[in-house]
Structure 1
Amino acid sequence: MSNSASMHLQQWAFVFGILGNIVSIMVCLAPLLTFYQIYKKKETGGFKSTPYLFALCSAMFWIYYAFLKTDAILLITINTAGCVMETIYITMFLIYAPKKARIKTIRILGSLNLGLFSLILVLTMMLAKGLSRLKIVGWLCVAFSACVFAAPLSVLRLVIRTKSVEFMPFSLSFFLTLSAILWFFYGLLLKDLYVALPNIAGFAFGVLQMIMYAIYRNKKTVVKKVVITTTEEEDKEHPYQENNKSPNAHDHQYVAGNKTTISTTISGDHVISLGTIGNAEVHPIDLEVIEIDHIGVLGCENVTLEEV
Protein backbone atom coordinates (compact mmCIF):
# COMPACT_ATOMS: atom_id res chain seq x y z
CA MET A 1 0.00 0.00 0.00
CA SER A 2 1.37 3.41 -0.96
CA ASN A 3 2.14 6.07 1.61
CA SER A 4 -0.66 8.29 0.28
CA ALA A 5 -3.23 5.49 0.62
CA SER A 6 -1.99 4.71 4.12
CA MET A 7 -2.27 8.36 5.12
CA HIS A 8 -5.78 8.48 3.66
CA LEU A 9 -6.84 5.49 5.80
CA GLN A 10 -5.30 7.07 8.90
CA GLN A 11 -7.21 10.28 8.25
CA TRP A 12 -10.48 8.36 8.02
CA ALA A 13 -9.55 6.44 11.16
CA PHE A 14 -8.99 9.75 12.94
CA VAL A 15 -12.45 10.96 11.83
CA PHE A 16 -14.11 7.77 13.10
CA GLY A 17 -12.10 8.05 16.33
CA ILE A 18 -13.27 11.63 16.93
CA LEU A 19 -16.89 10.68 16.27
CA GLY A 20 -16.44 7.63 18.48
CA ASN A 21 -15.19 9.85 21.30
CA ILE A 22 -18.21 12.16 20.99
CA VAL A 23 -20.80 9.36 20.94
CA SER A 24 -19.04 7.35 23.67
CA ILE A 25 -18.96 10.39 25.98
CA MET A 26 -22.72 10.75 25.45
CA VAL A 27 -23.10 7.08 26.45
CA CYS A 28 -20.90 7.64 29.52
CA LEU A 29 -23.14 10.54 30.56
CA ALA A 30 -26.33 8.48 30.20
CA PRO A 31 -26.38 7.29 33.87
CA LEU A 32 -26.30 10.88 35.16
CA LEU A 33 -30.09 10.99 35.46
CA THR A 34 -30.07 7.71 37.38
CA PHE A 35 -27.50 8.99 39.86
CA TYR A 36 -29.30 12.31 40.17
CA GLN A 37 -32.35 10.35 41.33
CA ILE A 38 -30.12 8.43 43.76
CA TYR A 39 -28.80 11.75 45.08
CA LYS A 40 -32.33 13.11 45.53
CA LYS A 41 -33.62 9.99 47.28
CA LYS A 42 -30.39 9.44 49.25
CA GLU A 43 -30.55 5.72 48.44
CA THR A 44 -29.52 3.39 45.62
CA GLY A 45 -32.67 1.27 45.60
CA GLY A 46 -32.20 -1.80 43.39
CA PHE A 47 -29.36 -0.43 41.28
CA LYS A 48 -26.18 -2.50 41.14
CA SER A 49 -22.59 -1.26 41.05
CA THR A 50 -21.20 -4.22 39.08
CA PRO A 51 -21.63 -2.73 35.55
CA TYR A 52 -19.80 0.45 36.59
CA LEU A 53 -16.97 -1.55 38.20
CA PHE A 54 -16.45 -3.61 35.04
CA ALA A 55 -16.67 -0.50 32.86
CA LEU A 56 -14.00 1.19 35.01
CA CYS A 57 -11.72 -1.85 34.80
CA SER A 58 -12.20 -2.04 31.03
CA ALA A 59 -11.30 1.64 30.64
CA MET A 60 -8.18 1.17 32.77
CA PHE A 61 -6.97 -1.71 30.58
CA TRP A 62 -7.66 0.29 27.40
CA ILE A 63 -5.55 3.17 28.69
CA TYR A 64 -2.72 0.74 29.44
CA TYR A 65 -3.10 -0.76 25.94
CA ALA A 66 -3.07 2.69 24.32
CA PHE A 67 0.16 3.65 26.09
CA LEU A 68 1.80 0.38 25.01
CA LYS A 69 0.69 0.82 21.41
CA THR A 70 1.68 4.51 21.24
CA ASP A 71 0.07 6.97 18.85
CA ALA A 72 -3.39 6.05 20.17
CA ILE A 73 -4.39 9.37 21.71
CA LEU A 74 -8.08 8.91 20.83
CA LEU A 75 -8.21 5.71 22.89
CA ILE A 76 -6.58 7.54 25.80
CA THR A 77 -8.99 10.49 25.71
CA ILE A 78 -12.23 8.51 25.71
CA ASN A 79 -11.09 5.95 28.27
CA THR A 80 -9.73 8.65 30.57
CA ALA A 81 -13.14 10.33 30.42
CA GLY A 82 -14.71 6.93 31.08
CA CYS A 83 -12.51 6.36 34.13
CA VAL A 84 -13.47 9.75 35.55
CA MET A 85 -17.21 9.23 35.02
CA GLU A 86 -17.25 5.64 36.30
CA THR A 87 -15.28 6.71 39.39
CA ILE A 88 -17.86 9.43 40.09
CA TYR A 89 -20.73 6.93 39.69
CA ILE A 90 -19.06 4.36 41.96
CA THR A 91 -18.30 7.03 44.58
CA MET A 92 -21.94 8.14 44.62
CA PHE A 93 -23.04 4.53 44.89
CA LEU A 94 -20.75 4.00 47.89
CA ILE A 95 -22.14 7.11 49.58
CA TYR A 96 -25.82 6.15 49.28
CA ALA A 97 -25.75 2.33 49.12
CA PRO A 98 -26.82 0.22 52.12
CA LYS A 99 -24.03 -1.32 54.16
CA LYS A 100 -24.19 -4.77 52.55
CA ALA A 101 -24.05 -3.39 48.99
CA ARG A 102 -21.30 -0.96 49.99
CA ILE A 103 -19.12 -3.75 51.40
CA LYS A 104 -19.67 -5.88 48.29
CA THR A 105 -18.75 -2.96 46.03
CA ILE A 106 -15.58 -2.22 47.99
CA ARG A 107 -14.56 -5.89 47.80
CA ILE A 108 -15.03 -6.03 44.02
CA LEU A 109 -13.30 -2.68 43.60
CA GLY A 110 -10.33 -3.88 45.63
CA SER A 111 -10.01 -7.31 44.02
CA LEU A 112 -10.85 -6.40 40.41
CA ASN A 113 -10.00 -2.77 39.75
CA LEU A 114 -7.03 -2.54 42.08
CA GLY A 115 -5.82 -6.10 42.74
CA LEU A 116 -6.24 -7.76 39.34
CA PHE A 117 -5.24 -4.70 37.31
CA SER A 118 -2.13 -4.11 39.44
CA LEU A 119 -1.17 -7.80 39.23
CA ILE A 120 -1.49 -7.87 35.43
CA LEU A 121 0.36 -4.57 35.14
CA VAL A 122 3.32 -5.90 37.16
CA LEU A 123 3.38 -9.33 35.46
CA THR A 124 3.22 -7.96 31.92
CA MET A 125 5.91 -5.40 32.67
CA MET A 126 8.20 -8.04 34.19
CA LEU A 127 7.52 -11.15 32.10
CA ALA A 128 6.52 -9.85 28.67
CA LYS A 129 8.12 -7.43 26.26
CA GLY A 130 7.27 -5.54 23.10
CA LEU A 131 4.66 -7.15 20.86
CA SER A 132 3.99 -10.02 23.28
CA ARG A 133 3.02 -7.58 26.04
CA LEU A 134 0.78 -5.67 23.63
CA LYS A 135 -0.99 -8.88 22.55
CA ILE A 136 -1.62 -10.00 26.14
CA VAL A 137 -3.07 -6.63 27.16
CA GLY A 138 -5.03 -6.42 23.89
CA TRP A 139 -6.80 -9.73 24.51
CA LEU A 140 -7.54 -8.68 28.09
CA CYS A 141 -9.15 -5.53 26.68
CA VAL A 142 -11.26 -7.67 24.35
CA ALA A 143 -12.37 -9.86 27.28
CA PHE A 144 -13.38 -6.96 29.53
CA SER A 145 -15.09 -5.13 26.67
CA ALA A 146 -17.13 -8.26 26.00
CA CYS A 147 -18.19 -8.29 29.67
CA VAL A 148 -19.28 -4.65 29.42
CA PHE A 149 -21.20 -5.25 26.18
CA ALA A 150 -22.84 -8.38 27.64
CA ALA A 151 -24.16 -6.47 30.66
CA PRO A 152 -27.43 -5.48 28.85
CA LEU A 153 -28.34 -9.17 28.56
CA SER A 154 -29.84 -9.01 32.05
CA VAL A 155 -31.93 -6.05 30.88
CA LEU A 156 -33.12 -8.06 27.86
CA ARG A 157 -34.19 -10.84 30.21
CA LEU A 158 -36.13 -8.29 32.24
CA VAL A 159 -37.81 -6.92 29.09
CA ILE A 160 -38.88 -10.42 28.02
CA ARG A 161 -40.26 -11.27 31.48
CA THR A 162 -42.17 -8.02 31.98
CA LYS A 163 -43.07 -7.27 28.35
CA SER A 164 -41.95 -3.71 29.16
CA VAL A 165 -39.08 -1.57 27.79
CA GLU A 166 -39.13 0.79 30.78
CA PHE A 167 -35.57 -0.13 31.77
CA MET A 168 -34.20 -0.21 28.20
CA PRO A 169 -34.56 3.25 26.60
CA PHE A 170 -34.24 3.21 22.82
CA SER A 171 -31.90 6.21 22.73
CA LEU A 172 -29.29 4.43 24.88
CA SER A 173 -29.46 1.27 22.74
CA PHE A 174 -29.13 3.37 19.59
CA PHE A 175 -26.08 5.29 20.78
CA LEU A 176 -24.42 2.11 22.06
CA THR A 177 -24.88 0.59 18.60
CA LEU A 178 -23.61 3.73 16.88
CA SER A 179 -20.58 3.84 19.18
CA ALA A 180 -19.77 0.21 18.35
CA ILE A 181 -19.98 0.93 14.61
CA LEU A 182 -17.65 3.94 14.85
CA TRP A 183 -15.03 2.15 16.94
CA PHE A 184 -15.22 -0.93 14.71
CA PHE A 185 -14.30 1.13 11.65
CA TYR A 186 -11.62 2.94 13.66
CA GLY A 187 -10.02 -0.42 14.49
CA LEU A 188 -10.57 -1.79 10.98
CA LEU A 189 -8.92 1.17 9.25
CA LEU A 190 -5.93 0.98 11.61
CA LYS A 191 -5.86 -2.84 11.30
CA ASP A 192 -6.24 -3.09 15.07
CA LEU A 193 -7.97 -6.39 15.79
CA TYR A 194 -8.27 -5.69 19.53
CA VAL A 195 -10.34 -2.55 18.92
CA ALA A 196 -12.45 -3.91 16.07
CA LEU A 197 -13.29 -7.35 17.49
CA PRO A 198 -15.22 -6.45 20.69
CA ASN A 199 -17.24 -3.84 18.81
CA ILE A 200 -18.67 -6.55 16.55
CA ALA A 201 -20.23 -8.01 19.70
CA GLY A 202 -21.25 -4.50 20.79
CA PHE A 203 -23.02 -3.94 17.47
CA ALA A 204 -24.81 -7.31 17.71
CA PHE A 205 -26.02 -6.65 21.27
CA GLY A 206 -27.12 -3.12 20.32
CA VAL A 207 -29.16 -4.32 17.34
CA LEU A 208 -30.71 -7.05 19.49
CA GLN A 209 -31.78 -4.44 22.06
CA MET A 210 -33.40 -2.27 19.38
CA ILE A 211 -35.24 -5.30 17.96
CA MET A 212 -36.54 -6.14 21.43
CA TYR A 213 -37.60 -2.52 21.87
CA ALA A 214 -39.57 -2.66 18.61
CA ILE A 215 -41.30 -5.86 19.76
CA TYR A 216 -42.26 -4.73 23.28
CA ARG A 217 -42.56 -0.94 23.01
CA ASN A 218 -46.38 -0.99 22.92
CA LYS A 219 -46.74 -3.55 25.70
CA LYS A 220 -48.20 -2.39 29.01
CA THR A 221 -46.40 -2.80 32.32
CA VAL A 222 -47.72 -5.65 34.46
CA VAL A 223 -49.80 -4.31 37.34
CA LYS A 224 -50.43 -6.46 40.39
CA LYS A 225 -52.27 -6.05 43.65
CA VAL A 226 -50.90 -7.26 46.97
CA VAL A 227 -53.53 -8.19 49.55
CA ILE A 228 -52.16 -8.44 53.09
CA THR A 229 -54.31 -9.86 55.88
CA THR A 230 -53.25 -9.37 59.50
CA THR A 231 -54.62 -10.06 62.94
CA GLU A 232 -55.80 -7.33 65.28
CA GLU A 233 -52.74 -7.85 67.48
CA GLU A 234 -50.43 -7.38 64.48
CA ASP A 235 -52.33 -4.25 63.46
CA LYS A 236 -51.68 -2.79 66.90
CA GLU A 237 -48.01 -3.80 66.81
CA HIS A 238 -47.36 -2.49 63.27
CA PRO A 239 -49.98 0.18 62.48
CA TYR A 240 -50.25 1.22 58.85
CA GLN A 241 -50.45 4.81 57.68
CA GLU A 242 -52.32 5.74 54.56
CA ASN A 243 -50.41 6.95 51.52
CA ASN A 244 -46.97 7.43 53.07
CA LYS A 245 -45.63 7.91 49.57
CA SER A 246 -42.36 8.90 47.97
CA PRO A 247 -42.49 11.57 45.25
CA ASN A 248 -42.11 8.97 42.49
CA ALA A 249 -44.30 6.23 43.94
CA HIS A 250 -47.45 5.06 42.17
CA ASP A 251 -48.76 2.99 45.06
CA HIS A 252 -51.95 3.30 47.10
CA GLN A 253 -52.88 1.71 50.42
CA TYR A 254 -56.43 1.13 51.58
CA VAL A 255 -57.13 -0.08 55.11
CA ALA A 256 -60.42 -1.83 55.90
CA GLY A 257 -60.49 -3.76 59.13
CA ASN A 258 -57.72 -6.33 59.16
CA LYS A 259 -57.14 -6.36 55.39
CA THR A 260 -54.69 -4.03 53.69
CA THR A 261 -54.54 -3.77 49.91
CA ILE A 262 -51.51 -2.30 48.21
CA SER A 263 -51.65 -1.66 44.47
CA THR A 264 -48.24 -1.36 42.87
CA THR A 265 -46.50 -1.70 39.55
CA ILE A 266 -44.31 -4.76 39.22
CA SER A 267 -41.61 -4.84 36.56
CA GLY A 268 -39.90 -8.20 36.34
CA ASP A 269 -37.43 -8.54 39.17
CA HIS A 270 -38.47 -5.52 41.22
CA VAL A 271 -41.32 -3.76 42.91
CA ILE A 272 -40.67 -0.11 42.16
CA SER A 273 -41.10 2.46 44.96
CA LEU A 274 -43.11 0.48 47.50
CA GLY A 275 -43.72 3.74 49.30
CA THR A 276 -46.82 2.80 51.32
CA ILE A 277 -44.81 0.63 53.69
CA GLY A 278 -41.94 2.94 54.48
CA ASN A 279 -39.09 4.51 52.61
CA ALA A 280 -39.15 4.08 48.84
CA GLU A 281 -37.15 0.97 48.00
CA VAL A 282 -36.71 -1.57 45.24
CA HIS A 283 -37.45 -5.09 46.44
CA PRO A 284 -36.52 -8.24 44.50
CA ILE A 285 -39.61 -10.27 43.62
CA ASP A 286 -40.85 -13.03 41.36
CA LEU A 287 -43.83 -12.56 39.09
CA GLU A 288 -45.70 -15.32 40.92
CA VAL A 289 -44.38 -15.04 44.48
CA ILE A 290 -43.73 -11.82 46.36
CA GLU A 291 -41.67 -11.53 49.52
CA ILE A 292 -42.02 -8.40 51.59
CA ASP A 293 -39.78 -7.99 54.59
CA HIS A 294 -40.19 -4.53 56.04
CA ILE A 295 -41.48 -2.93 59.21
CA GLY A 296 -45.24 -2.87 59.09
CA VAL A 297 -45.48 -6.08 57.06
CA LEU A 298 -43.49 -8.53 59.18
CA GLY A 299 -45.60 -11.30 60.68
CA CYS A 300 -48.50 -11.10 58.22
CA GLU A 301 -50.73 -14.16 58.29
CA ASN A 302 -51.44 -14.19 54.58
CA VAL A 303 -50.03 -12.46 51.52
CA THR A 304 -51.65 -12.97 48.14
CA LEU A 305 -50.76 -11.58 44.74
CA GLU A 306 -53.65 -10.74 42.45
CA GLU A 307 -53.86 -9.21 39.00
CA VAL A 308 -55.68 -5.90 38.83
Structure 2
Amino acid sequence: MARINMVHLTLAFGLLGNIVSFMVFLAPIPTFYKIYKKKSTEGYQSAPYVVGLFSAMLWIYYAFLKTNVMLLITINSVGCIIETLYICFFLFYAPKKARMESLKLIILLVIVGFGLIVFSTQFLVSGVNRGVIVGWICLVFSLCVFVAPLGVLREVIKTKSVEYMPILLSVALTVSAVMWFFYGLLLGDFNIAIPNVLGFTFGIIQMTLYFAYKNKTLITNEKVYDFEEKTYPISEMVEQEIKDHKTIDVVKRSAVMCSDILPVVAKLKEKENDVGHVAVEPHAHTSVPNHIIEVAV
Protein backbone atom coordinates (compact mmCIF):
# COMPACT_ATOMS: atom_id res chain seq x y z
CA MET A 1 0.00 0.00 0.00
CA ALA A 2 2.81 2.38 0.90
CA ARG A 3 4.54 1.43 -2.34
CA ILE A 4 1.43 2.32 -4.36
CA ASN A 5 1.11 5.64 -2.58
CA MET A 6 4.78 6.38 -3.29
CA VAL A 7 4.26 5.66 -6.99
CA HIS A 8 1.19 7.87 -7.11
CA LEU A 9 3.01 10.64 -5.28
CA THR A 10 5.96 10.40 -7.65
CA LEU A 11 3.61 10.54 -10.63
CA ALA A 12 1.83 13.56 -9.12
CA PHE A 13 5.07 15.50 -8.69
CA GLY A 14 6.14 14.46 -12.18
CA LEU A 15 2.93 15.77 -13.70
CA LEU A 16 3.16 18.98 -11.67
CA GLY A 17 6.75 19.28 -12.81
CA ASN A 18 5.61 18.99 -16.42
CA ILE A 19 2.96 21.66 -15.94
CA VAL A 20 5.25 24.10 -14.15
CA SER A 21 8.12 23.44 -16.56
CA PHE A 22 5.78 24.19 -19.44
CA MET A 23 5.07 27.52 -17.73
CA VAL A 24 8.85 28.01 -17.44
CA PHE A 25 9.20 27.59 -21.17
CA LEU A 26 6.40 30.12 -21.75
CA ALA A 27 7.72 32.65 -19.20
CA PRO A 28 9.98 34.53 -21.67
CA ILE A 29 7.02 35.39 -23.94
CA PRO A 30 6.66 38.95 -22.49
CA THR A 31 10.38 39.46 -23.11
CA PHE A 32 10.07 38.48 -26.74
CA TYR A 33 6.96 40.62 -27.08
CA LYS A 34 9.06 43.61 -26.03
CA ILE A 35 11.69 42.60 -28.57
CA TYR A 36 9.00 42.39 -31.24
CA LYS A 37 7.62 45.85 -30.41
CA LYS A 38 11.06 47.49 -30.36
CA LYS A 39 12.34 45.42 -33.30
CA SER A 40 15.57 44.92 -31.39
CA THR A 41 16.97 42.56 -28.75
CA GLU A 42 18.68 45.53 -27.00
CA GLY A 43 20.30 44.28 -23.77
CA TYR A 44 18.75 40.81 -23.79
CA GLN A 45 20.94 37.74 -24.20
CA SER A 46 20.40 34.44 -26.00
CA ALA A 47 22.51 32.37 -23.59
CA PRO A 48 19.61 31.24 -21.32
CA TYR A 49 17.67 29.89 -24.31
CA VAL A 50 20.64 28.18 -25.96
CA VAL A 51 21.65 26.57 -22.66
CA GLY A 52 18.01 25.62 -22.07
CA LEU A 53 17.82 23.91 -25.46
CA PHE A 54 21.06 22.04 -24.83
CA SER A 55 19.89 20.92 -21.38
CA ALA A 56 16.55 19.69 -22.75
CA MET A 57 18.35 17.65 -25.40
CA LEU A 58 20.59 16.11 -22.75
CA TRP A 59 17.65 15.15 -20.53
CA ILE A 60 15.91 13.47 -23.45
CA TYR A 61 19.06 11.47 -24.15
CA TYR A 62 19.32 10.57 -20.44
CA ALA A 63 15.65 9.53 -20.29
CA PHE A 64 16.15 7.12 -23.20
CA LEU A 65 18.98 5.48 -21.24
CA LYS A 66 16.71 5.04 -18.19
CA THR A 67 13.47 3.06 -17.93
CA ASN A 68 11.25 4.94 -15.45
CA VAL A 69 11.54 8.62 -16.37
CA MET A 70 9.10 8.94 -19.26
CA LEU A 71 7.85 12.27 -17.92
CA LEU A 72 11.30 13.73 -18.66
CA ILE A 73 10.89 12.88 -22.34
CA THR A 74 7.49 14.56 -22.64
CA ILE A 75 8.36 17.92 -21.13
CA ASN A 76 11.86 18.19 -22.60
CA SER A 77 10.55 17.40 -26.09
CA VAL A 78 8.18 20.33 -25.75
CA GLY A 79 11.06 22.38 -24.33
CA CYS A 80 13.24 21.67 -27.37
CA ILE A 81 10.56 22.99 -29.72
CA ILE A 82 9.86 26.14 -27.68
CA GLU A 83 13.52 26.98 -27.06
CA THR A 84 14.26 26.57 -30.78
CA LEU A 85 11.47 29.04 -31.62
CA TYR A 86 12.88 31.52 -29.08
CA ILE A 87 16.37 31.27 -30.54
CA CYS A 88 15.12 31.77 -34.10
CA PHE A 89 13.11 34.79 -32.97
CA PHE A 90 16.14 36.22 -31.17
CA LEU A 91 18.43 35.74 -34.18
CA PHE A 92 15.91 37.51 -36.42
CA TYR A 93 15.86 40.72 -34.34
CA ALA A 94 19.40 40.66 -32.93
CA PRO A 95 22.05 43.07 -34.27
CA LYS A 96 24.88 41.59 -36.27
CA LYS A 97 27.34 41.28 -33.37
CA ALA A 98 24.82 39.63 -31.01
CA ARG A 99 23.65 37.33 -33.81
CA MET A 100 27.19 36.11 -34.49
CA GLU A 101 27.84 35.50 -30.78
CA SER A 102 24.59 33.52 -30.51
CA LEU A 103 25.45 31.41 -33.55
CA LYS A 104 28.87 30.63 -32.09
CA LEU A 105 27.24 29.53 -28.83
CA ILE A 106 24.71 27.36 -30.69
CA ILE A 107 27.45 25.65 -32.69
CA LEU A 108 29.60 25.16 -29.60
CA LEU A 109 26.92 23.68 -27.34
CA VAL A 110 24.10 22.25 -29.43
CA ILE A 111 26.08 20.84 -32.37
CA VAL A 112 29.65 20.18 -31.17
CA GLY A 113 28.96 19.66 -27.45
CA PHE A 114 25.91 17.43 -27.74
CA GLY A 115 27.43 15.53 -30.66
CA LEU A 116 30.60 14.74 -28.69
CA ILE A 117 28.60 13.59 -25.65
CA VAL A 118 26.44 11.22 -27.68
CA PHE A 119 29.38 9.91 -29.69
CA SER A 120 31.67 9.35 -26.70
CA THR A 121 29.05 7.68 -24.49
CA GLN A 122 27.79 5.43 -27.28
CA PHE A 123 31.18 4.21 -28.47
CA LEU A 124 33.47 4.60 -25.45
CA VAL A 125 31.14 3.67 -22.57
CA SER A 126 28.86 0.68 -22.23
CA GLY A 127 26.13 -0.68 -19.96
CA VAL A 128 25.09 1.01 -16.75
CA ASN A 129 28.06 3.38 -16.77
CA ARG A 130 26.60 5.13 -19.78
CA GLY A 131 23.53 6.24 -17.86
CA VAL A 132 25.63 7.29 -14.86
CA ILE A 133 27.95 9.47 -16.93
CA VAL A 134 25.14 11.07 -18.89
CA GLY A 135 23.29 11.65 -15.62
CA TRP A 136 26.24 13.57 -14.16
CA ILE A 137 26.53 15.61 -17.35
CA CYS A 138 22.82 16.42 -17.13
CA LEU A 139 23.30 17.44 -13.50
CA VAL A 140 26.06 19.91 -14.40
CA PHE A 141 24.20 21.50 -17.27
CA SER A 142 20.96 21.69 -15.33
CA LEU A 143 22.88 23.94 -12.98
CA CYS A 144 23.87 25.99 -16.02
CA VAL A 145 20.18 26.46 -16.87
CA PHE A 146 19.59 27.94 -13.42
CA VAL A 147 22.83 29.95 -13.49
CA ALA A 148 22.29 31.34 -17.02
CA PRO A 149 19.77 34.04 -15.97
CA LEU A 150 22.26 35.13 -13.29
CA GLY A 151 24.32 36.66 -16.09
CA VAL A 152 22.18 39.78 -15.78
CA LEU A 153 22.63 40.07 -12.01
CA ARG A 154 25.91 41.94 -12.36
CA GLU A 155 24.21 44.44 -14.66
CA VAL A 156 21.27 44.74 -12.25
CA ILE A 157 23.55 45.52 -9.30
CA LYS A 158 25.67 47.91 -11.38
CA THR A 159 22.80 49.91 -12.90
CA LYS A 160 20.28 49.34 -10.08
CA SER A 161 17.75 48.54 -12.79
CA VAL A 162 15.78 45.33 -13.40
CA GLU A 163 14.64 46.28 -16.90
CA TYR A 164 16.42 43.33 -18.49
CA MET A 165 15.82 40.83 -15.68
CA PRO A 166 13.13 38.25 -16.61
CA ILE A 167 11.32 37.98 -13.27
CA LEU A 168 8.61 35.65 -14.61
CA LEU A 169 11.30 33.23 -15.70
CA SER A 170 12.94 33.41 -12.26
CA VAL A 171 9.67 32.68 -10.45
CA ALA A 172 8.77 29.83 -12.77
CA LEU A 173 12.23 28.27 -12.44
CA THR A 174 12.01 28.42 -8.65
CA VAL A 175 8.64 26.64 -8.50
CA SER A 176 9.78 24.13 -11.10
CA ALA A 177 12.89 23.36 -9.06
CA VAL A 178 10.72 22.45 -6.07
CA MET A 179 8.57 20.06 -8.11
CA TRP A 180 11.44 18.30 -9.83
CA PHE A 181 13.39 18.03 -6.57
CA PHE A 182 10.61 16.00 -4.95
CA TYR A 183 10.14 13.99 -8.15
CA GLY A 184 13.80 13.03 -8.20
CA LEU A 185 13.87 12.40 -4.46
CA LEU A 186 10.85 10.08 -4.54
CA LEU A 187 12.20 8.37 -7.63
CA GLY A 188 15.60 7.90 -6.00
CA ASP A 189 17.34 9.68 -8.89
CA PHE A 190 19.72 12.22 -7.39
CA ASN A 191 20.81 13.42 -10.82
CA ILE A 192 17.35 15.01 -10.98
CA ALA A 193 17.07 16.07 -7.33
CA ILE A 194 20.48 17.67 -6.63
CA PRO A 195 20.55 20.42 -9.30
CA ASN A 196 17.09 21.58 -8.31
CA VAL A 197 18.33 22.39 -4.80
CA LEU A 198 20.68 25.00 -6.26
CA GLY A 199 18.00 25.95 -8.77
CA PHE A 200 15.69 26.89 -5.93
CA THR A 201 18.50 28.85 -4.21
CA PHE A 202 19.40 30.80 -7.37
CA GLY A 203 15.76 31.57 -8.00
CA ILE A 204 15.36 33.06 -4.52
CA ILE A 205 18.45 35.25 -5.09
CA GLN A 206 17.08 36.56 -8.39
CA MET A 207 13.67 37.39 -6.93
CA THR A 208 15.29 39.11 -3.94
CA LEU A 209 17.33 41.36 -6.23
CA TYR A 210 14.29 42.09 -8.35
CA PHE A 211 12.18 43.31 -5.44
CA ALA A 212 15.17 45.24 -4.07
CA TYR A 213 15.72 47.21 -7.30
CA LYS A 214 12.34 47.15 -9.05
CA ASN A 215 11.53 50.80 -8.07
CA LYS A 216 15.02 52.20 -8.66
CA THR A 217 14.43 52.80 -12.36
CA LEU A 218 11.35 54.97 -11.76
CA ILE A 219 13.11 57.04 -9.09
CA THR A 220 16.12 57.56 -11.32
CA ASN A 221 13.97 58.67 -14.25
CA GLU A 222 12.04 61.13 -12.06
CA LYS A 223 15.28 62.63 -10.76
CA VAL A 224 16.63 63.06 -14.26
CA TYR A 225 13.36 64.62 -15.38
CA ASP A 226 13.34 67.05 -12.46
CA PHE A 227 16.96 67.92 -13.08
CA GLU A 228 16.27 68.66 -16.73
CA GLU A 229 13.28 70.85 -15.78
CA LYS A 230 15.38 72.81 -13.30
CA THR A 231 18.39 73.25 -15.56
CA TYR A 232 16.48 74.18 -18.68
CA PRO A 233 15.48 77.71 -17.53
CA ILE A 234 19.04 78.29 -16.26
CA SER A 235 20.45 77.39 -19.65
CA GLU A 236 18.08 79.90 -21.24
CA MET A 237 19.22 82.60 -18.82
CA VAL A 238 22.86 81.89 -19.56
CA GLU A 239 22.19 81.99 -23.28
CA GLN A 240 20.37 85.32 -22.95
CA GLU A 241 23.17 86.73 -20.83
CA ILE A 242 25.71 85.75 -23.50
CA LYS A 243 23.62 87.48 -26.17
CA ASP A 244 23.35 90.62 -24.03
CA HIS A 245 27.07 90.56 -23.43
CA LYS A 246 27.73 90.34 -27.17
CA THR A 247 25.36 93.27 -27.80
CA ILE A 248 27.15 95.40 -25.20
CA ASP A 249 30.51 94.60 -26.79
CA VAL A 250 29.21 95.64 -30.22
CA VAL A 251 27.85 98.91 -28.84
CA LYS A 252 31.17 99.66 -27.13
CA ARG A 253 33.12 98.96 -30.29
CA SER A 254 30.78 101.17 -32.31
CA ALA A 255 31.21 103.98 -29.79
CA VAL A 256 34.98 103.72 -29.96
CA MET A 257 34.94 103.78 -33.75
CA CYS A 258 32.66 106.86 -33.75
CA SER A 259 34.93 108.66 -31.30
CA ASP A 260 37.85 108.09 -33.68
CA ILE A 261 35.92 109.33 -36.74
CA LEU A 262 34.34 112.51 -35.24
CA PRO A 263 37.59 114.55 -34.94
CA VAL A 264 38.44 113.91 -38.58
CA VAL A 265 34.96 114.94 -39.72
CA ALA A 266 35.20 118.13 -37.64
CA LYS A 267 38.49 119.11 -39.29
CA LEU A 268 36.97 118.58 -42.73
CA LYS A 269 34.06 120.86 -41.80
CA GLU A 270 36.45 123.60 -40.72
CA LYS A 271 38.37 123.42 -43.99
CA GLU A 272 35.12 123.45 -45.96
CA ASN A 273 34.00 126.61 -44.18
CA ASP A 274 37.36 128.31 -44.89
CA VAL A 275 37.83 127.36 -48.51
CA GLY A 276 34.21 126.90 -49.54
CA HIS A 277 34.54 123.39 -50.75
CA VAL A 278 36.91 120.50 -50.26
CA ALA A 279 37.49 117.74 -52.76
CA VAL A 280 38.35 114.55 -51.01
CA GLU A 281 40.15 111.88 -52.97
CA PRO A 282 39.00 108.39 -52.30
CA HIS A 283 42.46 107.52 -50.98
CA ALA A 284 43.44 110.99 -49.64
CA HIS A 285 42.81 110.02 -46.01
CA THR A 286 43.16 106.33 -45.37
CA SER A 287 42.05 106.74 -41.76
CA VAL A 288 38.58 108.00 -42.83
CA PRO A 289 36.19 105.16 -43.73
CA ASN A 290 34.27 105.70 -46.94
CA HIS A 291 31.75 102.91 -46.42
CA ILE A 292 29.07 101.89 -43.94
CA ILE A 293 30.12 99.38 -41.23
CA GLU A 294 27.71 96.47 -40.76
CA VAL A 295 27.90 94.47 -37.57
CA ALA A 296 26.29 90.99 -37.42
CA VAL A 297 25.66 89.38 -34.07
TM-score (norm 1): 0.67
**Equivalent runs, 1:1-308 vs 2, <5 Å:** 4-168=1-165, 170-221=167-218, 222-223=220-221
The alpha carbon displacement at 1:217 in A equals 4.1
More helix by share: 2
Pairwise CA distance, 1:28: 0.7
Shift in alpha-carbon separation, 1:86–1:170, aligned structure 2, 3 A = closer
5+ residue gaps, structure 1: 227-254, 260-308
Give the match's secondary structure for 1:84. Answer: helix
- Bigger Rg, structure 1 or 2: 2
TM-score, normalised relative to structure 2: 0.70
Q: Indicate if the aligned counterparts of 2:48 and 2:149 stay in contact, CA closer than 8 A.
A: no
Query: Hey, what's the Cα distance between the residues in 2 that align with 1:99 and 1:119?
Result: 28
Count of paired positions:
226
Bigger relative contact order (CA 8 A; separation at least 6): 2
Deviation of 1:151 (Å): 1.8
Gaps of 5+ in 2: 226-234, 240-297
Report how far residue 163 of structure 1 moved.
Answer: 3.1
Q: Which residue of 2 aligns with 1:291?
A: none
Residues 1:103 and 1:33: Cα distance change in structure 2 (over 3 Å) = same
Q: CA deviation at 1:171?
A: 4.3
Structure 1 stretch displaced more, 72-81 or 90-99: 90-99
Which secondary structure does the structure 2 equivalent of 1:152 belong to?
A: helix
TM-aligned CA deviation for residue 159 of structure 1: 3.0
Task: State the 4+ residue runs in structure 1 displaced beyond 4 angstroms.
Answer: none
Percent sequence identity over matched residues?
54
Q: 2:27 touches 2:172 (CA, 8 Å); kept in 1?
A: no
What SS is found at the alignment partner of 1:40? helix
- CA drift of 1:31 comes to 1.1
Instruction: Go from structure 1 to structure 2 and tell me whether the alpha carbon gap of 1:96 and 1:168 turns closer, same or farther (over 3 Å shift).
Output: closer
Equivalent-residue separation in structure 2 for 1:183 and 1:41 (angstroms)? 36
